[in-house]
Chains A and B, each alone.
Chain A
């Protein structure tokens, strides 16, 4: 996954316009416009519905004394925090799997493994949620208790440990499993495309396998890894169902990852509270949606910027 480059335009040799050409070009333009219209419609809806909540005086929201920004702050924090934890766990593993498939595994093993990874991506998030609450959460309880007892001095693992295991760390593990296939599939594609010439050259210089990977594969694939991670991050930021099911949320900002009280995420909070909301509370929830929209936009732009800068530095070499 690299930044889309402009396709070279065909030279206008044939001036005769065929009907098929015309239809196709109109269809393509139509498709391109439709996505812009859809995006604009969503943005307009979000802004229009959010305004009443954003200008509402302090104390009009349930669960907080403050104004809208105080309402959304813990949610925005929780969204980024859970997604970041997930990414920290997922990226190294995903890169490892991708590298194993592309460069280490025997061909017989590599292909089925690739299929299995793709299969993980097809599992609906509600199933991950069920797995999270029935299997993962109870299984983590002893670990969390041990952590609280032995590593409680470290702020992340401050006790008391949750009695049910439904913490932000459990959520992050579930999210990590969910984003793993995306990141793996994309990075594998990039690894495979490393020019054979570069790899052979590294060997020719006497590099070992690991040195070859470090010298030839990683530099070539760096922007691809970043893009893949950002796509994964996008999914983690917006994940609703699994978080709503697994997390034990409250309206706080806290870095402790094994307690009962965890910051909730924007998407999960909307899912949990929309059904029983009315009036200004609905506007508040939509406004949090707008905040998520903005966060996603910032993350994507940042990723695009990093990738572009990296590509430029590659070219200038």
Chain B
């Protein structure tokens, strides 16, 4: 009995050893790239780059990282989609080399300084590299698109317009048959950048109706709430006569709203979303490499104003020069046409315009 048990123990140990060595063998294989597997110009970069932050950028980061690591086989990039707030804190505390965030660091945060990954007295580089249109989605049988003014959108979400047959909606949509049914507006139940950008749009474009300050937490107690983009899309899809807002890449199959901008009704499109950034001003009083944008949600030209702009944030000067080289290469890739096309394909982002591209390139050159 005893010997038998000892025997089985040994067998177990042996099996474990084999499994473990299997792992190790595997790892060395991936660590050292096979010659000829990479592109024509072999990359000389190597090292690890750690990023954290906005979950909105998560899908784009996954696509970017895969592509970037393919081109630079000795570089490992990780991105932890912990959320914007956590991402900013991690970056400030030196836990990551770059941050992804739904809003740029503001003046107070920059003045407070203490960015641990950066050299002392270094500024921070903030680049709007991820522009994502937010679609206003609805589920009303037989209706695929609706025209709405910002006031109507705000009225619906503030629950002042409560019925689909309300004349305020009907007069903008002649010929569309709207049901005489209650509207169920759906908002995010979690703290999110999408909500912050959506409420910012309502606050800027319809200040008379929407009197709440923009915030990542929904300011009203009324209305239906659901967790995450998937939750909202799910609630709108499964519910009846619902309306909500979600990342445009997830709007498939649902009706979407064309919002009134400068007298025109603009449906969401990547081009129209990218145009809003060009129609806006950069935040004043920041250095040239800080491209924080003061989004103008009520522009003169017909651009799509309901967008989420996420920033990639790095140091002007890194404490570790090796990191600077890596960050520079990664940021350059993300801003490139190739990188932006990758994000558009995999995450539904709107590629940045050539005007913005020039500014971004100049800013990346500063990193050292």
Q: Do A and B assemble together?
A: yes
Identify the A interface with B (CB < 8 A): 62-63, 133-134, 137-138, 141, 160, 162-166, 244-245, 247-252, 260-261, 264, 272-278, 281
A-B contact pairs, 8 of them (CB 8 A): A134-B238, A137-B238, A160-B182, A248-B225, A248-B226, A273-B217, A276-B84, A277-B191
Among A133, A244, A273, A281, which residue has its beta carbon within 8 angstroms of that of B234? A133
Docked Cα-Cα span, A264 to B89, in Å, equals 27
Contact A164 B238 (CB under 8 A): yes
| Least Cβ–Cβ distance between B72 and chain A, in angstroms | 29
What residues of A have a CB within 8 angstroms of the CB of B218 in the complex? 250
What residues of B have a CB within 8 angstroms of the CB of A166 in the complex? 224, 226, 235
Check if B221 is an interface residue, CB within 8 A of chain A: yes
What residues of B have a CB within 8 angstroms of the CB of A278 in the complex? 85-86, 88-89
CB nearest to A260 among chain B residues: B224
Docked Cα-Cα span, A252 to B55, in Å, equals 28
What residues of A have a CB within 8 angstroms of the CB of B96 in the complex? none
**Given known contacts A260-B224, A272-B190, A138 and B238 CB-to-CB distance under 8 angstroms:** yes
Check if B82 is an interface residue, CB within 8 A of chain A: yes
**Given known contacts A63-B217, A133-B238, A166-B224, A273 and B186 CB-to-CB distance under 8 angstroms:** no
Among B89, B189, B220, B242, which residue has its beta carbon within 8 angstroms of that of A163? B242
Contact B223 A261 (CB under 8 A): yes
Interface size class of B (residues with CB under 8 A): 35 or more
Check if B269 is an interface residue, CB within 8 A of chain A: no
Docked Cα-Cα span, A165 to B224, in Å, equals 10
Contact B85 A277 (CB under 8 A): yes
What residues of A have a CB within 8 angstroms of the CB of B86 in the complex? 275-278
| Least Cβ–Cβ distance between A111 and chain B, in angstroms | 31
Contact A162 B191 (CB under 8 A): no
Interface residues in B202-234 by Cβ distance below 8 A to A read 215-227, 231, 234
**Given known contacts A137-B238, A160-B182, A276 and B222 CB-to-CB distance under 8 angstroms:** no
State the 7 A-B residue pairs at the shortest beta-carbon distance, nearest first.
A275-B83, A163-B184, A278-B85, A164-B239, A276-B191, A272-B190, A260-B224
What residues of B have a CB within 8 angstroms of the CB of A264 in the complex? 189
Contact A162 B238 (CB under 8 A): no
Contact B242 A275 (CB under 8 A): no
What residues of A have a CB within 8 angstroms of the CB of B242 in the complex? 163-164
Contact A252 B221 (CB under 8 A): yes
Contact B190 A273 (CB under 8 A): yes
Check if B122 is an interface residue, CB within 8 A of chain A: no
Docked Cα-Cα span, A20 to B87, in Å, equals 51
What residues of B have a CB within 8 angstroms of the CB of A252 in the complex? 221
Contact A163 B216 (CB under 8 A): no
| Least Cβ–Cβ distance between B108 and chain A, in angstroms | 12
Contact A245 B227 (CB under 8 A): yes
Docked Cα-Cα span, A275 to B225, in Å, equals 17
What residues of A have a CB within 8 angstroms of the CB of B55 in the complex? 275
CB nearest to B219 among chain A residues: A63
**Given known contacts A62-B215, A275-B55, A164 and B190 CB-to-CB distance under 8 angstroms:** no
Check if B241 is an interface residue, CB within 8 A of chain A: yes
| Least Cβ–Cβ distance between A307 and chain B, in angstroms | 37
Contact A249 B225 (CB under 8 A): yes
| Least Cβ–Cβ distance between A240 and chain B, in angstroms | 11
Check if B123 is an interface residue, CB within 8 A of chain A: no
What residues of A have a CB within 8 angstroms of the CB of B215 in the complex? 62
What residues of B have a CB within 8 angstroms of the CB of A160 in the complex? 182
Contact B88 A272 (CB under 8 A): no
Check if B240 is an interface residue, CB within 8 A of chain A: yes
Docked Cα-Cα span, A134 to B242, in Å, equals 16
**Given known contacts A160-B182, A272-B191, A275-B86, A251 and B227 CB-to-CB distance under 8 angstroms:** no
Among B184, B191, B193, which residue has its beta carbon within 8 angstroms of that of A273? B191
Docked Cα-Cα span, A180 to B311, in Å, equals 47
Among A162, A272, A275, which residue has its beta carbon within 8 angstroms of that of B189? A272
Docked Cα-Cα span, A16 to B85, in Å, equals 62
What residues of A have a CB within 8 angstroms of the CB of B225 in the complex? 247-250, 260
